[in-house]
Chain A
Amino acid sequence: MANIKLGLKLRKQLRPLFLLFLAIIFLLPTFFILYWLVTKAVETTAEINTYPPTLIPQTFTLEHIELVIKKQNIFRYAMNSIIISGSTTLIGIIAGMPAAYGLVHLGKQSSWGLWILITRMLPGLLALIGWYNLFSKLHLLNTYASIVLTHLIYAIPLIIWIMIGYFEEQDPDLEAAALVDGCTKFRAFILVGVPLAGPGMTVSAILVFVYSWNDFIRGLIFAGPDKRPLTMAVYRAMSLESLHWGEMMAAALFVIFPIAIITIFLQKYIIAGLTQGGIKG
Chain B
Amino acid sequence: MSSVSDWMNKKLYYLLLLPSLIIILVIFVFPIIYTTLISFHEFNLVSTEKPVFVGLDNYKKVILSPRFRHAVLVTFYNLSLVITSTILLGFITALIFHQSFPARSVARTFAVIPMMATPAAIGLIMMTMYHPTLGVANYFLSFIGIPPQLWSYGPKSVIPAISLIQIWRYTPLAMLFMLGGLASIPEEPYEAATVDGATWWQKVRYITLPLLRPHIFVAAMILMIDVMKQFEIIFVMTKGGPGTASETINILLYLQAFSYFYIGEASALGLVFVAIMMAMILILLRYRRRKF
Contact = CB atoms under 8 A, between A and B. Distances in A.
B278 A121 contact: yes
A235 B24 contact: no
B127 interface: yes
Given A34-B113, A102-B12, A131 B108 contact: no
B interface residue count range (under 10 / 10 to 19 / 20 to 34 / 35 or more): 35 or more
Contacts of B1: none
28 contacts: A23-B93, A26-B96, A27-B110, A30-B114, A33-B122, A33-B126, A96-B20, A98-B19, A99-B17, A106-B14, A120-B225, A121-B278, A127-B31, A133-B45, A156-B20, A157-B24, A214-B120, A216-B118, A217-B235, A234-B121, A234-B124, A238-B236, A252-B124, A256-B117, A263-B116, A270-B112, A278-B177, A278-B219
Contacts of A133: 34, 38, 45, 263
Given A16-B99, A189-B12, A234-B124, A99 B19 contact: yes
A279 B116 contact: no
Interface stretch (B57-65, B149-157, B268-276): B268-276
Interface of B: 8-10, 12-17, 19-21, 23-24, 27-28, 30-32, 34-35, 38, 45, 93, 96-97, 99-104, 107-122, 124-129, 133-136, 139, 142, 168, 173, 176-177, 179-180, 215, 218-219, 221-222, 225, 229, 231-232, 235-236, 250, 253-254, 257-258, 263, 266-267, 270-271, 273-274, 277-278, 281
A26 B107 CA distance: 10
A271 B176 contact: yes
Interface of A: 15-17, 19-20, 22-24, 26-27, 29-31, 33-34, 36-37, 40, 49-53, 55, 94-96, 98-99, 101-103, 105-106, 119-134, 136, 149-150, 152-153, 156-157, 160, 184-186, 189, 210, 213-214, 216-217, 221, 230-231, 234-235, 238, 245, 248-249, 251-252, 255-256, 259-260, 262-264, 267, 270-271, 274-275, 278-279, 281
Contacts of A105: 13
B29 to A, nearest CB: 9
Contact of B107 (A23, A122, A152): A23
Contact of B176 (A123, A248, A275): A275
B34 A271 contact: no
B107 A130 contact: no
B146 to A, nearest CB: 15
A132 B258 contact: yes
Contacts of B117: 33, 214, 256, 259-260
Nearest to A239: B236
Given A23-B96, A235-B236, A267 B112 contact: yes
Contact of A186 (B8, B133, B218): B8
A238 B281 CA distance: 37
Contact of B173 (A95, A216, A274): A274
A252 B125 contact: yes
Given A17-B102, A152-B27, A23 B168 contact: no
Contacts of B13: 101-103, 105-106, 185
Q: Is the interface of A mostly helix, strand, loop or mixed?
A: helix
Contacts of B118: 213-214, 216, 230-231, 234, 252, 255-256, 259
B101 A217 contact: no
A106 B21 CA distance: 14
Given A125-B250, A255-B118, A24 B17 contact: no
B254 A125 contact: yes
B250 A36 contact: no
Given A16-B101, A278-B219, A127 B27 contact: yes
Contact of A33 (B35, B120, B125, B127): B125
B274 A126 contact: yes
B28 A278 contact: no
Given A130-B38, A263-B116, A274-B173, A19 B136 contact: no
